[in-house]
Structures are given as structure tokens and as C-alpha cells.
């Protein structure tokens, strides 16, 4: 399976800027996208159309949504449904990003509902997990990851297609801080995630991609991608500029 190189633009970029960045990114990677890599751009909702237009017809690129509410439609003011993301051209969506868990107050149960519901609707889901600094200091990394994975995947069918599911290991203390987990810390966390996936999904679990996220930059992407069980990256800050994200994609 190709390495998944995902750009999370969070709450940045108006539509015109998003379209321009996506076009610049496609231009920089034209003819240079490694054959073993796939690019995913996850803009804010209001920039989905402009980003989709800029990436239309670009092989190896896809579009994702940062969030949705796990219901088909209804009286959920301010929310967006999976079908609306699909309608806007998305193939992927995130669930459980640490900013949604820790700023917006989403708990493990809601994250699990989103993961299962998104899959049912035909989205490929990226479930984000990761420990806070105090949990790492208390030696609880494995326990936290196991709890988040168990809840996040609770209603995912055992025969889920490995194409339709990815896990992003994102230590909370490394997101947007400039701090990156060291190679040994990344290898150990990804080993824990892989063991869980194989136990839960048997042979299919060996094929589900595990991304690393947390202050990935052009200077550390190559090393991170060389670690066992690192099947891609989820990049925030360094994905906002086409040049730096293109350097990460080709690292
Ligand atoms: C993220 O948004 O998932 C992320 C990892 O952000 P950053 O690369 O800025 O740490």
C-alpha cells in the first residue's frame, strides 16, 4: 500500500488561498510524486470546493474532511454530514484529532461513533490517537493508545478493507509545538498500534496504514518515514506552504 502523506490545514486558509496552495503543490509534485506515495489534502470545509477544483484530475491526490457529525442528516445546526463531505469530493475524513478531543471536548465514545459511521457512509477514516505529556511521563502510553483504539474501533467490522481505515499516532505534546517524538518513541508507539490492529483485524490489520503526526517537517520526514510501521505522515503547520509540504512528500 502507498504511504499516505496527509496535509491537515486546520482552521487556516480562505478558499482562494487554499486553491492557490493546492495548485502550487500539484505543480511542484507534477512528475515528481514518488510511486509509493499518495497525497491527501484536508482543508477547512469552506475551502473544499476550491481545493477540489485545484486538484481535479491530478493522479495520486485526494481530498479529506476534518470532521463530521455521525448522522445522515437532521437538526444538527453547525454540523456537516459524511454524505456532504463525499458530495464535496472527499474520500477521507479524520476522527479523534487531539484538537477535537482536547479543545472541543470529544470523548472516546463519540470518536468511535464517527469512525464507524463514516465507514458505513463510504468515507475512508483516519482515526487519530495519542497520549498527553503527563500520560507519557506516567508510563501510560500503551494504556492510552489501547483505550483510544478499542473505543475508536469498537464498531468497525472485523473485515474492514485496509484501504478504508488508517490510524494516525499523534502524541499530543508534539502537535504544533516543534517537538517531535524520537525514533525509538515512534517505533514503540507504532508497534503497540500494529499489535492492536493485528489482534483486532487479523491479517487485514497488518495492512492498515499507521501515520505519524506531530511537528513533521522537511528535515525530519525522511527519518520518520524510515521507521518500522510508519506508513505515512499527518502534517499540520508544515503543510500550509506548498514548498515545505512538497519537500515532505518527496522526503
Ligand atoms: C496535526 O495537525 O495533526 C499536526 C500533527 O500538526 P503539526 O504538524 O503542526 O504538529
Domain boundaries, the chain: 3-249
Which residue minimizes the CA distance to atom 2 of ligand 1?
236
Q: How far is the CA of 226 from the centre of ligand 1 (A)?
A: 19
The secondary structure of residue 183, as a DSSP letter, is: H
Q: How open is the CA angle 223-225-227, to the nearest 5 degrees?
A: 75
Position 181 confidence tier, pLDDT thresholds 50, 70, 90: confident
Q: What is the mean pLDDT of residues 138-148?
A: 97
Q: Is 170 a known active-site residue?
A: yes
Q: Percent of the chain beyond pLDDT 90? A: 98
One CATH from 3.20.20.70, 3.20.20.140, 3.40.50.2300, 3.40.190.10 for 3-249:
3.20.20.70
Q: Which of 38, 131, 170, 190 is catalytic?
A: 170
- H or E stretch covering 178: none
Position 180 confidence tier, pLDDT thresholds 50, 70, 90: confident
Q: Is 97 a known active-site residue?
A: yes
Q: How far is the CA of 74 from the centre of ligand 1 (A)?
A: 31
Q: What is the mean pLDDT of residues 76-96?
A: 98
Q: Which residues contact 119 (CB under 8 A, 6 or more apart)?
A: 125, 156, 157, 160, 164, 165
Q: How far is the CA of 213 from the centre of ligand 1 (A)?
A: 6
Which residue minimizes the CA distance to atom 8 of ligand 1?
236
Q: Which residues line ligand 1 (CB under 6 A)?
A: 8, 10, 170, 175-176, 213-216, 234-238
Q: What is the mean pLDDT of residues 192-215?
A: 97
What's the pLDDT score for residue 176? 86
Amino acid at each position: 500500500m502507498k504511504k499516505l502523506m496527509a496535509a491537515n490545514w486546520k482552521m487556516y486558509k480562505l478558499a482562494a488561498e487554499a486553491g492557490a496552495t493546492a495548485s502550487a503543490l500539484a505543480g511542484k509534485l507534477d512528475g515528481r510524486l514518488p510511486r509509493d506515495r499518495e497525497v491527501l489534502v484536508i482543508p477547512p470545509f469552506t475551502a473544499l470546493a476550491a481545493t477540489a477544483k485545484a486538484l481535479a484530475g491530478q493522479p495520486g491526490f485526494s481530498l479529506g474532511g476534518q470532521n463530521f457529525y455521525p448522522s445522515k442528516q437532521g437538526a444538527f445546526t453547525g454540523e456537516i454530514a459524511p454524505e456532504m463531505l463525499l458530495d464535496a469530493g472527499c474520500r477521507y475524513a479524520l476522527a479523534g484529532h487531539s484538537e477535537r478531543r482536547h479543545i472541543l471536548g470529544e470523548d472516546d465514545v463519540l470518536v468511535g461513533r464517527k469512525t464507524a459511521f463514516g465507514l458505513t457512509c463510504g468515507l475512508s477514516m483516519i482515526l487519530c490517537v495519542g497520549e498527553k505529556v503527563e500520560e507519557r511521563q506516567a508510563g501510560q502510553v500503551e494504556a492510552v493508545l489501547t483505550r483510544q483504539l478499542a473505543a475508536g474501533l469498537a464498531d468497525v467490522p472485523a473485515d474492514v478493507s485496509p484501504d478504508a481505515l488508517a490510524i494516525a499516532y499523534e502524541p499530543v505534546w508534539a502537535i504544533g509545538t516543534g517537538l517531535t517524538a524520537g525514533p525509538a518513541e515512534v517505533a514503540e508507539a507504532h508497534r503497540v498500534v500494529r499489535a492492536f490492529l493485528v489482534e483486532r483485524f487479523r491479517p487485514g490489520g497488518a495492512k492498515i496504514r499507521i501515520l505519524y503526526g506531530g511537528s513533521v517537517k522537511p528535515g525530519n520526514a525522511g527519518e520518520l518515514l524510515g521507521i518500522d510501521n510508519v506508513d505515512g505522515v499527518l502534517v499540520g503547520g508544515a503543510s500550509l506552504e506548498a514548498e515545505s509540504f512538497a519537500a515532505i512528500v518527496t522526503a
